Structures are given as structure tokens and as C-alpha cells.
């Protein structure tokens, strides 16, 4: 099956700055209804990548394809198949939500009657049914976010690009938004590209994640596979001379790295009991101050990828190549 | 089943044509503009002059009504290029005022509300957007320019007969081309004002000021350098000269001719289009 997004040696230059520096990746599977998370620190090139996929920027080299269509040369075909929810407020102030969605639907190619029907349908779907005849300019921030989501899906696109969809939402509205995104992929078979700074949002919703840094892809992970992996992680804090701990752990089949003096991250294979850690600590004359079970969270994946923490034990060095590309 | 019970389903039906999508924005805009009372009043008011002209045509074609007024009245009542040139001059003023009222609300709200990414992430290019917005104004302005102009021409042709039509058909094409050129230029001025000025009143004033300021500048150049060619930089003079050329009305010898003025108008329109294209981008790139 073909990828939803294919990026091949893509370079984008804005003025004198090269924002995207030859990135390549294949994301999602057409028709599978997957969510892809796009992460990266500020200035990493996430927005530029999204805008290039939308055809707003011309690549200086390489190419980007969505559902098999070139984002630059076949922009019309691409745009007919995608929905976009921008990060900032984007609406037409003096229009009611129904009129706004009808307009957006019709511009996307829906016939008049279908656009009106879908406008009502999608407004009820996102929870704005009761206020659909109000002007969008009078909406609260949370309602505007929902209206933005509604306009992105009113025409039933195959790929929905969401830029910071939970920005400014209270916890309940945030959960509602994430639930809607889950439903979009699971019940309606839409593919979702989610760009967010909130790692928990991405972790909750996405099946794949791409991490950008300085215009390059520094990590690409299949979160579904990560979730399914039976590796057990342990955070161990000890007091004492722990210089021999790494070797001692290897003897019992575990692997550990020290993140700071006395702070260890240990990966336990399925056949190694947790009790063996106590025995190893006792043998090494170490006092255990803290022992917590944990799995490799997206936050760790992210921090490792952008170079803020060292590698998690058990990772092979090949997972994060030196040149930063996959 | 009620919409609120049915739940959301992805649309999987037929998609409309590119032309139909292009006409969506004009439909919505016309609905909004024509709901403004002032615009409707202005449009109705602007049709009084064509009504007067229609009366004039009727009078001109019924010689029994002015038989007792002497020979000079016949020349005065002749329906020719001069008559349509005066009609177009007066009617263009109404069109300009209408453009200054209806134009500023076209693009400024989209820029203020950051709506351009929503349009441009759909199968609609920047040029499609400009064309759509231009169609809005062309449609409104043609109601007070081309439509009454062609009706008057048609009225005269039907009353005066085939002979008159055969010898004056160029007046019809002149009215159509002349007004089209004019409303296209006025639309571009109104759209550029709307794109660059946030406040509607100021943008509307700028549309009017564009014509007055350029007229003043042209006169200044003429006076300072003791030349005549700068009159072509005055959009009002330039469009008048083009109309006169199209309607076969004499232009003063010392002033720029119709072709020179048409070139200036096209150049001016090209410049306005470039200004618009520069401003209308989905994202602002800070270089």
C-alpha cells in the first residue's frame, strides 16, 4: 500500500535560510486511518514542512507527495484530498458557523445542498450544534478551535493536517478534541498529521511519530510497536559507589545506563525478575533509594532525539543515526 | 433522520467543477454586499441617470415632439459617440463610489481574520482567489455600467432601426470594452486598497483618493515640466481618452491619445495586480 506522505530529499529555503535540509521519510499507509505525530523544538521546521505539504512553499530541491500526488506540481489534486486546521485563529468573522462551513465545503468541491447538509452534520459532530447560527467572531477560543476542526473535515478529506489543535483548550475540551481526532482515524478512516508541542496529546492519539530538529528528521518511531513492546524499564536511584553496577547488571541479563550520579535507567528483559536488581545492589553494596517501573515515554523518545538526554538502555545506536536522517 | 441524530459521515459524492468552485466566493459576497442597505440605495440612485438618458433617446427618436424648436436642437439630440461618452462619464462616477463602498470589505476581513490559509489549503490558487474577488466587484459594477449602457444602446438600435445599428455598431462594442476596462481598473484599485488598509472607511477613501491624487500628480508634472504627456497618468483622463477612442469622439491633439492612455491603464492595472499578489499569501514569510 502507498504511503500517505512521502518526502524525498526535501529542501526548503526561505530567503537565505534553509529551513528543511534534505529530509526524507514515508509516513502512514493510504486508507489505513493512522495518525502521525510531528514533533520538534521551536524552529525545527515543523510548520515549514506542513506548509510545504500544503503547497504554500516551493521546495528548493527534492519533492513531497501526498497520497501519490506531488505537493507542488499537482497542488490542486493534493488540496482536494486534504483538510487543514491552522494553528492561529482563522475564520471569517462576520459569518455564522453554518455559513462559514458551507462556504468552505463548497470551495472544497461539495455541491450546494451537500455542503449545507455537511455543515450542519459536522457542527453537531464537534459539539457546536446549538451555536451553529452564531457568528464565529463571537465564539470562545475553545469553540473557535472546534470550528476550525469542523472546517477541516467538512468535505471528508483523506488526510487532515492539524497544527496545534489543543492550543488554548481547557482539560475537558482538550480531551474532547483528542477524542474527535481518534474518531476521525478509527471510525472515519481519515489519516491525521498532528503537529503539537504537547507530547501527551501525540502519545495519546498517534500511531507514528516523526521528530524534527534543525530542519532534519532526527527520529521516526512507530508508537504502536513501542506500546506493544514488552520491554520493562526501571528507574533506579542508588547511594554508594556505583561504578561496577553496569557490569553487574549485564551479568544478570539486564542493561543500564547512568544518567546522573546515582541515577540509573535499566531495561529488564522479560525473563529477568525485578528481585535480581535487589540482589545486584546488595552485592555491589549500594543503597536503593528509589525503584520505579516505567516504559519509554514519548517524552523520553523526544528528549533523546533532540539530544537533551542520553540513550535509553537497550536502544541500538542505529536508531538515531549520526547524520540525523532515517 | 435529523442531522443531530445522524452523526458525521465523510462526504463521498461527486465534486463540482473548478468554475463552480470559483463562483462560490462571489455568490457569498454578493449575498452579503446586497444585504447592505446603503449599497442597494446607491445602486438604485445610480440608475436614475440611465433613466434620464433613456428619456433622451426616446425624445431624440421622436422628432414630432421637438419640431418647433429649430434646427440646432437636432444636433443637440443626436445619439452618437458623444452622447454615450457623456453617459459613461457620469455613470463611471457612480461606479467609483459603489466600488469604494463595496470593495474594502472584500479582502481586508480575510487578512484580519487570517482566513487566507483556509482558502489556499483548498483547491483554490492565489490567482483564483483574486479572480473570485474581482468577479464580485465586476458583477456589482457591471449592473450600473455595462448593463444600463448596453440597454441604452439596444434601445437606441431598436428605435432607430437597422441602418443606425449598421453604421454605429462600434458604439456597442465601445461601451462594453470601455466599461469593462474601467470597472476592471476600479476593481483592482478597490481590492488593492482592501488588501493594504485594514479599516474599511480609510480603504474606501483611498479608492477615491487614488483617482484624485494621481490626477493632481499628473497636472503637477504637466505644469512643472511644461508637457502634456503626463495627462495619461491621470486615470480619469486616461479612461476618458480610451472611451473617446472607442466611441470615435475627437481627442484634443496636444493630449495623449487613446492607445497611449490604454497602455498606461494596462500598466497601472498590472502594477495593482502585482501589489495584490504580493500581499495575498497563505503565510507571511519573514526572510
Angle at A162 between CA A140 and CA A26, to 5 degrees: 175
> Does the pLDDT of residue B156 top 90, yes or no?
yes
Per-residue pLDDT, A322: 35
Per-residue pLDDT, B45: 94
> Does the pLDDT of residue B274 top 90, yes or no?
yes
Contact assignment for A56 to B282 by CB distance below 8 Å: yes
Contact assignment for B123 to A76 by CB distance below 8 Å: yes
Taking only residues 48 to 67 of chain A, the set having a beta carbon closer than 8 angstroms to any beta carbon of chain B reads 51, 54-57
Per-residue pLDDT, A224: 73
For B28, the closest chain A residue by CA position comes to: A103
CA dist B88 and B69 (Å) reads 27
Q: What is the mean pLDDT of residues B86-93?
A: 95
What cell numbers appear for A302 in the block?
523526544
Per-residue pLDDT, B96: 95
**Among candidates B139, B94, B103, B92, which has minimal Cα distance to B239?**
B92
Contact assignment for A125 to B8 by CB distance below 8 Å: yes
Q: Which residues pair with A216 in a beta bridge?
A: A213
Per-residue pLDDT, A319: 42
For B281, the closest chain A residue by CA position comes to: A56
Indicate the SS3 state at residue B284: coil
CA distances from A244 to A233, A247, A257, A296, B191 (A): 20, 6, 12, 24, 75
pLDDT greater at residue B2 or residue A217: A217
Per-residue pLDDT, A326: 30
Contact assignment for B120 to A56 by CB distance below 8 Å: yes
Quick check: B35 contacting A, CB < 8 Å? no
Across the beta sheet with A216-222, what order do the strands follow?
A82-85, A159-163, A191-195, A35-39, A208-213, A216-222
Per-residue pLDDT, A268: 80
pLDDT digits (tens, 9 = 90+) for B120-132: 999 999 999 999 9
What cell numbers appear for B26 in the block?
462571489
Provide the H-helix boundaries in B197-257. Answer: 200-225, 235-246
Give A237-303 as a DSSP string.
EEES--TTHHHHHHHTT-EEEEEETTEEEEEE-TTS-THHHHHHHHHTT-EEEEEEEE---HHHHHH
Percent of chain B past pLDDT 70, that is, above it, reads 97
Question: Are A195 and A168 in contact, with CB atoms under 8 Å apart?
Answer: no
Phi first, then psi, for residue B117 (nearest 5°) are -60, -30
Contacts of A88 in chain B (CB under 8 A): 114
> Does the pLDDT of residue B109 top 80, yes or no?
yes
CA dist A276 and B81 (Å) reads 105
CA distances from A291 to A237, A266, A277, A287, B165 (A): 7, 10, 9, 11, 100
Q: Mean pLDDT lowest for which of A133-147, A263-277, B47-61, B68-82? A: B68-82
Contact assignment for B115 to A91 by CB distance below 8 Å: yes
C-beta contacts of B203-212 below 8 A and 24+ residues apart: B203/B103, B203/B104, B203/B108, B204/B100, B204/B101, B204/B103, B204/B104, B205/B100, B207/B96, B207/B99, B207/B100, B207/B103, B207/B104, B208/B96, B208/B97, B208/B100, B210/B235, B211/B96, B211/B235, B211/B236
Q: Which of A43, A57, A109 to probe the B interface (max B CBs under 10 A)?
A: A109
Q: What is the mean pLDDT of chain B?
A: 90
Question: pLDDT tens digits, chain A, 326 residues: what are they?
Answer: 688 999 999 999 988 889 999 999 998 887 788 899 999 888 889 999 999 999 999 999 999 999 999 999 999 999 999 999 998 888 886 899 999 999 999 999 999 999 999 999 999 999 998 999 999 989 999 999 999 999 999 999 999 999 999 988 888 999 999 999 999 999 999 999 999 888 888 888 999 999 999 899 988 888 877 666 656 778 889 999 898 898 999 888 888 888 788 888 888 877 888 888 899 999 999 999 988 876 556 776 776 676 655 555 555 444 433 333 33
- Helix, strand, coil percentages in chain B from 3-state DSSP, rounded to 5: 75, 0, 25
What's the pTM value of the predicted model, to 2 decimals? 0.83
Quick check: A84 contacting B, CB < 8 Å? yes
Contact assignment for B113 to A89 by CB distance below 8 Å: yes
For B120, the closest chain A residue by CA position comes to: A56
Taking only residues 257 to 316 of chain A, the set having a beta carbon closer than 8 angstroms to any beta carbon of chain B reads none
Quick check: A98 contacting B, CB < 8 Å? no
Question: Are A283 and A248 in contact, with CB atoms under 8 Å apart?
Answer: yes
Question: Are A84 and A107 in contact, with CB atoms under 8 Å apart?
Answer: no
Dihedral Cα A67, A68, A70, A74, nearest 10 deg: -80
Angle at A297 between CA A295 and CA A300, to 5 degrees: 115
CA dist B247 and B227 (Å) reads 26
Percent of chain B past pLDDT 90, that is, above it, reads 68
At what angle are helices B162-196 and B235-246 packed, to 10 degrees? Answer: 160
As a residue count, chain B comes to 287
pLDDT digits (tens, 9 = 90+) for B197-243: 888 889 999 999 999 999 999 999 989 998 888 888 999 999 999 99
Give A199-233 as a DSSP string.
HHHHHHH-SEEEEEETTEEEEEEEHHHHHH---EE
Per-residue pLDDT, B71: 67
Q: How far is B287 from chain A (nearest CA, A)?
A: 5
Amino acid at each position: 500500500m502507498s504511503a500517505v506522505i512521502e518526502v524525498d530529499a526535501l529542501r526548503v529555503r526561505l530567503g537565505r535560510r534553509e529551513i528543511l535540509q534534505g529530509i526524507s521519510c514515508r509516513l502512514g499507509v493510504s486508507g489505513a486511518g493512522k495518525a502521525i505525530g510531528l514533533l520538534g523544538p521551536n524552529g525545527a521546521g515543523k510548520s515549514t514542512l506542513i506548509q510545504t505539504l500544503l503547497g504554500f512553499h516551493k521546495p528548493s530541491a527534492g519533492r513531497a507527495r501526498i497520497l501519490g500526488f506531488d505537493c507542488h506540481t499537482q497542488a490542486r489534486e493534493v488540496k482536494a484530498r486534504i483538510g487543514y486546521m491552522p494553528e492561529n485563529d482563522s475564520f471569517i468573522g462576520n459569518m455564522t458557523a453554518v455559513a462559514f462551513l458551507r462556504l468552505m465545503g463548497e470551495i472544497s468541491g461539495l455541491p450546494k445542498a451537500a455542503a449545507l447538509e455537511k455543515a450542519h452534520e459536522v457542527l453537531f459532530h464537534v459539539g457546536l450544534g446549538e451555536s451553529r447560527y452564531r457568528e464565529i467572531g463571537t465564539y470562545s477560543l475553545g469553540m473557535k478551535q472546534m470550528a476550525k476542526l469542523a472546517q477541516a473535515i467538512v468535505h471528508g478529506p483523506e488526510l487532515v493536517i492539524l497544527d496545534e489543535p489543543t492550543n488554548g483548550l481547557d482539560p475537558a475540551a482538550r480531551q474532547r478534541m483528542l477524542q474527535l481526532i481518534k474518531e476521525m482515524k478509527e471510525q472515519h478512516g481519515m489519516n491525521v498529521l498532528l503537529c503539537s508541542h504537547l507530547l501527551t496529546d501525540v502519545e495519546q492519539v498517534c500511531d507514528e511519530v516523526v521528530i524534527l530538529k534543525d530542519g532534519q528528521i532526527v527520529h521516526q518511531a512507530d508508537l504502536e510497536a513501542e506500546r506493544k513492546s514488552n520491554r520493562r524499564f526501571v528507574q533506579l536511584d542508588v547511594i554508594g559507589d556505583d561504578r561496577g553496577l553496569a557490569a553487574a547488571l549485564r551479568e544478570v541479563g539486564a542493561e543500564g545506563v547512568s544518567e546522573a550520579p546515582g541515577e540509573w535507567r535499566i531495561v529488564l528483559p522479560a525473563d529477568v525478575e525485578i528481585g535480581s536488581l535487589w540482589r545486584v545492589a546488595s552485592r555491589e553494596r549500594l543503597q536503593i533509594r528509589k525503584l520505579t517501573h516505567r516504559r519509554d515515554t514519548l517524552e523520553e523518545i523526544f528528549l533523546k532525539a533532540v539530544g537533551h538526554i542520553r540513550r535509553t538502555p537497550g536502544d541500538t545506536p542505529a536508531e538515531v543515526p549520526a547524520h540525523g536522517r532515517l | 433522520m435529523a442531522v443531530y441524530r445522524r452523526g458525521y459521515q465523510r462526504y463521498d459524492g461527486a465534486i463540482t467543477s473548478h468554475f463552480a468552485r470559483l463562483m462560490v466566493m462571489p455568490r457569498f459576497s454578493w449575498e452579503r454586499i446586497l444585504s447592505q442597505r446603503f449599497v442597494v440605495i446607491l445602486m438604485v440612485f445610480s440608475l436614475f441617470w440611465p433613466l434620464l438618458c433613456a428619456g433622451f433617446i426616446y425624445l431624440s427618436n421622436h422628432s414630432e415632439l421637438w419640431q418647433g424648436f429649430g434646427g440646432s436642437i437636432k444636433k443637440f439630440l443626436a445619439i452618437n459617440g458623444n452622447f454615450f461618452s457623456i453617459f459613461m462619464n457620469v455613470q463611471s462616477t457612480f461606479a467609483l463610489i459603489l466600488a469604494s463602498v463595496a470593495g474594502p470589505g472584500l479582502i481586508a476581513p480575510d487578512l484580519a481574520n487570517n482566513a487566507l490559509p483556509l482558502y489556499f489549503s483548498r483547491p483554490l490558487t492565489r490567482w483564483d482567489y483574486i479572480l473570485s474577488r474581482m468577479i464580485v466587484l465586476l458583477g456589482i459594477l457591471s449592473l450600473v455600467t455595462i448593463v444600463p449602457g448596453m440597454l441604452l444602446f439596444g434601445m437606441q438600435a431598436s428605435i432607430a432601426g437597422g441602418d443606425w445599428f449598421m453604421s454605429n455598431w462600434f458604439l456597442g462594442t465601445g461601451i462594453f470594452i470601455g466599461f469593462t476596462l474601467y470597472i476592471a481598473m476600479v476593481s483592482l484599485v478597490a481590492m488593492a486598497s482592501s488588501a493594504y488598509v485594514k479599516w474599511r472607511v480609510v480603504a474606501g477613501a483611498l479608492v477615491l483618493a487614488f483617482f484624485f491624487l494621481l490626477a493632481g500628480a499628473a497636472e503637477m508634472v504637466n505644469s512643472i515640466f511644461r508637457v502634456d504627456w503626463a495627462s495619461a497618468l491621470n486615470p480619469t483622463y486616461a479612461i476618458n481618452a480610451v472611451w473617446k477612442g472607442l466611441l470615435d469622439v475627437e481627442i484634443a491633439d496636444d493630449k495623449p491619445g487613446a492607445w497611449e492612455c490604454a497602455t498606461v491603464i494596462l500598466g497601472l492595472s498590472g502594477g495593482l495586480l502585482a501589489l495584490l499578489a504580493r500581499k495575498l499569501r497563505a503565510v507571511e514569510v519573514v526572510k
